[in-house]
């Protein structure tokens, strides 16, 4: 089978032939139709992601496809079932084996592209806003990187949960995508004083930040008393340092949020969240935004779209 492999300490990424994997105990084998790309894939290539596998490994964290075989002890999902899986690795390949208990049966009518773009982006935002920040109707949510893979879902979910949503993104095209997702107010991150713009809108109750760096610092200073601040990632390359004295004076809370980490110690947080999200999808309340769909042999082009922040929403690789 063909696969995208990270091979060596130089972090070389190649499209190459690989042995077809067979399912072990507790696993399913699936023919992969689509794989969603994530910023974490770029970190894995560099070897800086917290869950980077040992070399060599097949890149690709989340997939959608059809079950083709069951490992020992597995009775469901049945062969032929359409599923999505967050596997953490192994997704950019024609065939993959993943834990059966991570397989999510797809709703009728959900495309493989939507399914491959769904779990990490919507799951991260929903667990962050609902489980961690306890976002309430009428509160003000500020989303940084609001046109990115997770940022756009945070705008959409924040609006669906009844919040007033301020979207911060770079340039008119990205702000337009955030507006279409439901943002009430738009701020161009390339123009002027972000702190001042947020303060002029009354400040924020919840900050959703996949960017870090200077944008975090500006939004942090625009937080209202008792605001909840969610560091989701650091696409800027700068991990901000948080002044504890400011937390004290304004009674602020900083809430760490690593979606994949719940798999290890509270998997029900993820499964319960996905039930809600898929219910909203079936009801037509969620519309996954995929800006680019590319074949497997153009994966590097897709990764560069993430690296250069040229995409909006998700980039999906179609495999079969």
Provide the residue-wise pLDDT of the chain in tens; the chain has 320 residues: 999 999 887 778 899 999 999 999 999 999 999 999 999 999 999 999 988 999 999 999 999 999 999 999 999 999 999 999 999 999 999 999 999 999 999 999 999 999 999 999 999 999 999 999 999 999 999 999 999 999 999 999 999 999 999 999 999 999 999 999 999 999 999 988 999 999 999 999 999 999 999 999 999 999 999 999 999 999 888 998 899 999 999 999 999 999 989 988 999 999 999 999 999 999 999 999 999 999 999 999 999 999 998 999 999 999 97
Asked if 99 and 182 sit in the same domain, the reply is no
Asked if 79 and 160 sit in the same domain, the reply is no
Q: Could you give the number of structural domains in the chain?
A: 2
Asked if 105 and 155 sit in the same domain, the reply is no
Asked if 55 and 174 sit in the same domain, the reply is no
pTM confidence score:
0.93
The answer to whether residue 268 is domain-embedded is no
Question: CB under 8 Å to 275, separation ≥6 — which residues?
Answer: none
CA 176, 170, 273, 68 dihedral sign is positive
Q: What are phi and psi of 90, to 5 degrees?
A: 85, 5
The answer to whether residue 276 is domain-embedded is no
Asked if 82 and 100 sit in the same domain, the reply is yes
Computed over every residue of the chain, the mean pLDDT equals 95
Q: Which domain holds residue 191?
A: 121-260
Residues 155-171: tens digit of each pLDDT: 999 999 999 999 999 99
CATH code for position 131 = 3.40.50.720
Asked if 105 and 24 sit in the same domain, the reply is yes
Question: CB under 8 Å to 280, separation ≥6 — which residues?
Answer: 160, 286
Which helix (H) or strand (E) covers residue 245, if one does? Answer: helix 244-250
Query: Is-contact 263 99, C-beta < 8 A?
Result: no
Asked if 101 and 19 sit in the same domain, the reply is yes
């Amino acid at each position: 089978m063909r696969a995208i492999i990270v091979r060596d300490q130089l972090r070389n990424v190649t499209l190459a032939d690989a042995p077809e994997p067979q399912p072990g105990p507790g696993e399913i084998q699936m023919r992969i139709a689509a794989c969603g790309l994530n910023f974490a894939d770029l970190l894995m290539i560099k070897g800086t992601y917290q869950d980077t596998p040992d070399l060599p490994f097949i890149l690709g964290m989340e997939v959608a496809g059809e079950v083709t075989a069951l490992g020992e002890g597995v009775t469901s999902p049945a062969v032929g079932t359409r599923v999505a899986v967050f596997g953490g690795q192994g997704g950019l390949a024609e065939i993959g084996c993943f834990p059966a208990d991570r397989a999510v049966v797809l709703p009728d009518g959900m495309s493989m592209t939507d399914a491959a773009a769904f779990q990490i982006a919507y799951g991260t935002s929903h667990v962050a806003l609902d489980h961690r920040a306890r976002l309430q109707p009428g509160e003000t949510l500020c989303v940084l990187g609001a046109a990115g893979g997770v940022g756009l879902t945070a705008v959409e979910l924040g609006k669906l949960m009844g919040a007033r949503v301020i979207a911060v993104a770079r340039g008119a095209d990205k702000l337009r995508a955030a507006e279409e997702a439901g943002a009430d107010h738009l701020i161009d991150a390339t123009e002027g004083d972000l702190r001042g713009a947020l303060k002029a809108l009354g400040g924020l109750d919840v900050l959703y930040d996949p960017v870090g760096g200077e944008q975090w610092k500006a939004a942090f200073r625009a937080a209202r008393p008792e605001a909840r601040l969610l560091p989701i990632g650091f696409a800027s390359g700068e991990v901000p340092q948080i002044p504890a004295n400011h937390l004290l004076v304004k009674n602020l809370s900083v809430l760490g949020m690593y979606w994949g980490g719940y798999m290890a110690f509270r998997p029900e947080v993820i499964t319960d969240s996905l039930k809600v999200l898929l219910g909203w999808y079936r009801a037509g309340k969620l519309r996954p935004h995929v800006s680019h769909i590319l074949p497997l042999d153009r994966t590097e082009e897709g990764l560069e779209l993430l690296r250069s922040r040229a995409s909006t929403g998700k980039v999906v690789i179609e495999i079969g």
